[in-house]
Structures are given as structure tokens and as C-alpha cells.
Amino acid sequence: MDRPAPLKVVVLGGGTAGWMTAASLAKLLPDRASVDLIESEDIGIIGVGEATLPHIRGFVERLGIREAEFMKATHATYKLGIDFRDFGRIGESYIHPFGSFGEELAGVGFHHYWLELQRRGQAAPLGEYSLCVAAALANRFQPPSRDLSLSSTYGYAYQFDATLFGPFMREFGQSVGVTRHEGLVTNVERNGDTGDVTALVLKDGRRIEGDLFVDCSGFRSLLLGQELGEEWEDWSHWLPCDRAAAMPCTHATEDIRPYTTATAMPAGWRWQIPLQHRMGNGYVFSSAFLDEETACEAIRDAAEGEPLADPRVLRFRPGRRRRSWSHNVVGVGLASGFLEPLESTSIYLAQMAITYLIELFPEAGGIEPADRDAFNRLVDMEYDRVRDFLILHYHATTRDDSEFWNHVRTMRVPDSLSDKLQLWRETGRIEKYSDGLFFDASWIAVYVGQGWLPQRHDSRTGMVDPERLKAAADRLRREIASEVSRMPGHREYLERETSRLAEAS
């Protein structure tokens, strides 16, 4: 079969998104794309996203990378979910698991029965009906089974060192044929008629031509934002956090938590991400409510292990470009949009854009506007769903102990979210979709975890014999507890799997 000449793709930016994009295109479209990547040692890499979602496993697998090798290179640990502390109310916490709660019974979701048990004073915390939550809280881990048993009711992701993930992808990308150029872009050449980008000129005069440009230049958004002027939709009125003070520490405990911790703070929240040899810490805050110096002090005070470096402040702004693909420029990662790391979505959002770019990769004849539109619609849908879910974490609260929490508690939320909230409040139901991120179990985890209970639940729960319902729920808890007791500890499992372990540094 005749093969058209490969399209010349130029990726601008050597951060996580840049190398993920370049490596994927080179590996998955070897005949369709030739890939050049431009990066500069003079530009720092933000390296967001130390915690991930289960989708990352599919990404690694599709590239043909062995999980063990990947985990070793990035000092990765396993992640079963996120522990949210003090969000709904100070002193309360819950885990948003990569797993489900109980089982549907006679067509009615488990959470309705849980609400009924709770009304009767017979319910344990919702998490006790989730194997994923119970395993996480017990610091235990083993991969889920592939059958339909209880031990198949969860998934997992990784917590890894973002500063190692980029270089790992760089090495992999170069091994599958990505050409790397070191240098600073000083000029963007465009076609006078179409406005398409034709070449990037580097400081030393080198000129890198391309058919398709992927802007992975981070917040600078050199091509999509600066050059093409694609409009930015600002979401900071809903998501006011715009800074992070990050500081790595040693592990303070013997156990390694198989989950990320997000603890609400007076002007935002702080993360704790356990890696193999250290703990990532950071305070995500709103500069409108807190100055950087105070935030750095706060993270120093709060971090539990020995600091391994001084706090470093990152700046960002939540929102997305109205179009992530414009002309022959596609934005992936921060150049296209940003949502704070509260639900570990950064790497997912880059991966999602890469997947759609591959599906809609331009044909030899050029870029079809219909494909660009399809890409932009998909990206918007993904961002908007994540956005609403993040806003929920701030808004579903009773906290009134700081200006920040007063603001997010009382702000007007997007209509798309307020309808969901009201439907839940009145009926205990979740607006259903099956594309994108965060389905029923995720919404239920946050609603219930933050004390945002509905006023009413399904009438059918009242028709089950109360004794039998309680007995069934207790049995499930016992089964979960017994399953957890048979699982190895997270550290134990990691240490047994020596091929996944990095050398102690």
C-alpha cells in the first residue's frame, strides 16, 4: 500500500506533557509522524502531577513500557485514592477511592441503602463498605483480581516523582525516534495566507520546520496563547487557588500510604504524596487570601518528615483556552488548560488530549476543520466535567473559619453544577454520564464524605426488611475486613517486588 510521507510534528516544550506527546506519537504512529521536540535547559519544568489516575496504566501499557521498569525509574508507589481531610468540616475525613461502595440491590444504588441504615443509626462510615477505602486506610495493597469477586472492585494508579517521569519519557521518546533539539525559540514563522505556523526559529539561528505543532510550553503557551492569541477562559472565580508552595520531605512513618492525602488549609489545601524514598508536600493556596511567604511557612510547619529542600512556589491559573486546537497548533498540558491538582487530573488531561490527537491525527492532505472541532469538543467536555467536580470539593462545606472558605462556600457555582447539587439534595441521585472522568461513585464519595447528605433517598430502601438489610451490610463489612487482612502491607508488597524498587538515594 502506498504510504504518504509522514507528517512533520514539532513538539515545543520538554516537560511532562511534551515528552508524553512526543513519545506517544513516535511510538504509536511511526509511519504517520516524524517527531521533533524542542526544549531548553534554561526553562524550568513545573513537573506537576506527582499523583495520577488509573488511566496512566493504560498509557504506559500502550507504549509497551513494563510497569516494573516505569515504577523503578519514577520511584513510584501504588495509589488507591485520595484521603480528603477537613474539607467538609474540620476534623472529618474521607477517602475518594478508585473503587466502588457496596453493590446495587434490586436496581437501587448501594448509597441509598446506606442512607437508610444511617437514618436508623445502623450505618458504619461509608468507606467501610468499600474494599478500596478499607485497604487504603490499612496501608495495604495488592493488585485487584480479574474475576468478578470482591477483590476486583477497585483500580489503582501511581504516585511518582514528576521530576523523574519527564526524563524517563525523554529517554523512551528518544529510543522510539523522537529528535531532540536543545534551544530557545525566539521567533515563530507563519504562512501569510493561512496563518498556520510553518517553522520555529531558535536563538542560535536553527530553524525547525513542521506541518503540525504541539504546544507543550506550559503556562507561557508560546504558540497557542502568545502567537495565535487563543482566548483564555478564566475559572479563578470558582477555583481561586493560584499558587502552590512545594517542599519534599523524608518519610515520617514506617508505612507508605497507598493513597494521596489532601488536607484543607485556611486558604486552600495541602498535599502529601508518598513516593518510594520521600514524601511530596505542597500547599495549594489562593494568593488573594494568603501571601507566598506565609504559605511557605505553613507548609514547613505542617510537613511531617525532615525537609529535603526549601519550599518552592509555583504559580498557575485555572481555566482553559476556548480552543485547544487552532490552525495547525494543538495545545497539550498547561498550554491548553489548567486545573489544580486536587484530584490528580493534570497527567490525565494531557494523556486524554494525546489520545484524541492520535485518533484525529491529520491526514496527508492537511487538517480538516471537522477534526479540529471534534478534538476541541472532546477536550472541552473533559475539562468542564473535571472543573465541576473540583468546585464541588470547595463548595460542599460547612467551613466558615476563614475568608477563603467563606468565599467558596457562598459563591455562585456554574449552572451545570448547581443542577447536579440540587438533584442530589432532593433525591440522592447523580446526573449520569459515561464519557469523561468521575462517575457515580466519585460524586457519592465527595458528597457523603463532606457531609453533604441528601434530604431524601429512594423509597425502595424502606421496603427491605431492616434486619436483613443490616445483616447484609454487616456481612459485606466483614468480608471486606477479612479481604483486607489477607492483603500485604503496601511497603511489604513494594519491597517484595524488587524489580519495581529504585536504589535508595
Partner 1 sequence: MSEPREPLRRIVVAGSGQVALLSAIALRRALPTTEVVLLAVAPQGPAFADFAATSLPFTASLHDRLGIDEERMIATAGASHRLSTRYFGWSSHDQRGVFAHGGWTGRAMRARFGRDWGGGPKIAGGERPAGSLAEVLTDAGRFALPPADRETPLSLIEYALRWNPPAYRTLLVERARQLGIGHVQAPIETIERDGAGGITGLNIQGQGWLEADLFVDCSGPAAVLASALPGFATVDWSTSLPTRRVFIAAGAEPMIALEDRITLLDEGWLIEQAGRDGLLTILGVGEGTSEQAAIAALGKDPVAVMPVSPGSVAEPWQGNVIALGDASAQFEPLANLNLDLAHRQLDLLLEMLPGREIEPLERAEYNRRAGLMMDRTRDLLAFHYATPRARRVFGEVEVPEAVQTALDQFVRRGRMPFHEESALLREEEMDLLGALGFERQMSPQEGASDPEGIEAGEAEFAALARRALEAAPPYAEWIAAVTQPS
- Residues contributing to the site for partner 1 (CB under 8 A): 1, 28-32, 106-107, 115-116, 118-119, 358-361, 363, 368, 370-371, 374, 419, 422-423, 426-429, 431-435, 453-463
Residue placing its CB nearer to partner 1 in the complex, 318 or 428: 428
Residue found under cell 425502595: 460
Residue placing its CB nearer to partner 1 in the complex, 33 or 249: 33
The SS3 of residue 224 is: helix
User: CA 365 from chain center: how many Å?
Assistant: 35
Shortest gap between Cβ of 30 and partner 1 (angstroms)?
A: 6
Residue placing its CB nearer to partner 1 in the complex, 370 or 504: 370
Residue placing its CB nearer to partner 1 in the complex, 55 or 407: 55
Sequence-distant (6+) residues with CB within 8 A of 306 are 249, 250
Residue placing its CB nearer to partner 1 in the complex, 28 or 199: 28
First to last CA, the chain: 52
Q: What angle do CA 482, 483, 487 make, to 5 degrees?
A: 115
Residue placing its CB nearer to partner 1 in the complex, 28 or 501: 28
Shortest gap between Cβ of 177 and partner 1 (angstroms)?
A: 13
Residue pair 215/223 in contact (Cβ under 8 Å)? The answer is yes
Shortest gap between Cβ of 58 and partner 1 (angstroms)?
A: 13
Residue placing its CB nearer to partner 1 in the complex, 61 or 304: 61
Shortest gap between Cβ of 389 and partner 1 (angstroms)?
A: 17
Q: How far apart are CA 352 and CA 360, in angstroms?
A: 12
Q: How far apart are CA 171 and CA 57, in angstroms?
A: 19
Q: How far apart are CA 105 and CA 461, in angstroms?
A: 9
Look at residues 438, 498, 504, 494 and name the one whose alpha carbon lies nearest to residue 158.
494
Q: How far apart are CA 318 and CA 221, in angstroms?
A: 14
Q: Which amino acid is at 121?
A: G
DSSP-derived secondary structure letter, 106? T
Active-site residue, selected from the candidate residues 8, 27, 72, 79: 79
Shortest gap between Cβ of 386 and partner 1 (angstroms)?
A: 17
Sequence-distant (6+) residues with CB within 8 A of 158 are 51, 52, 56, 57, 71, 74, 76, 77, 78, 79
Residue placing its CB nearer to partner 1 in the complex, 44 or 466: 466
Joined together, the cell numbers standing for residue 35 give 517527531
Shortest gap between Cβ of 10 and partner 1 (angstroms)?
A: 18
Look at residues 273, 271, 255 and name the one whose alpha carbon lies nearest to residue 263.
271
Reported residue count of the chain is 505
Shortest gap between Cβ of 104 and partner 1 (angstroms)?
A: 10
HSE at residue 223, side-chain half, CA atoms within 13 A, is 34
From residue 370, give the alpha-carbon distance in Å to each of 29, 292, 314, 357, 366.
21, 45, 37, 13, 12
Catalytic, 470? Answer no
Residue placing its CB nearer to partner 1 in the complex, 255 or 440: 440
Shortest gap between Cβ of 376 and partner 1 (angstroms)?
A: 13
Residue pair 35/142 in contact (Cβ under 8 Å)? The answer is no
From residue 389, give the alpha-carbon distance in Å to each of 296, 382, 436.
27, 11, 12
Which residues on neighbouring strands pair with residue 193, listed in sequence order?
Answer: none
The SS3 of residue 260 is: strand
Residue pair 298/404 in contact (Cβ under 8 Å)? The answer is no
Q: How far apart are CA 96 and CA 223, in angstroms?
A: 37
Q: Which amino acid is at 382?
A: E
Shortest gap between Cβ of 366 and partner 1 (angstroms)?
A: 12
Catalytic sites, residue numbers: 79
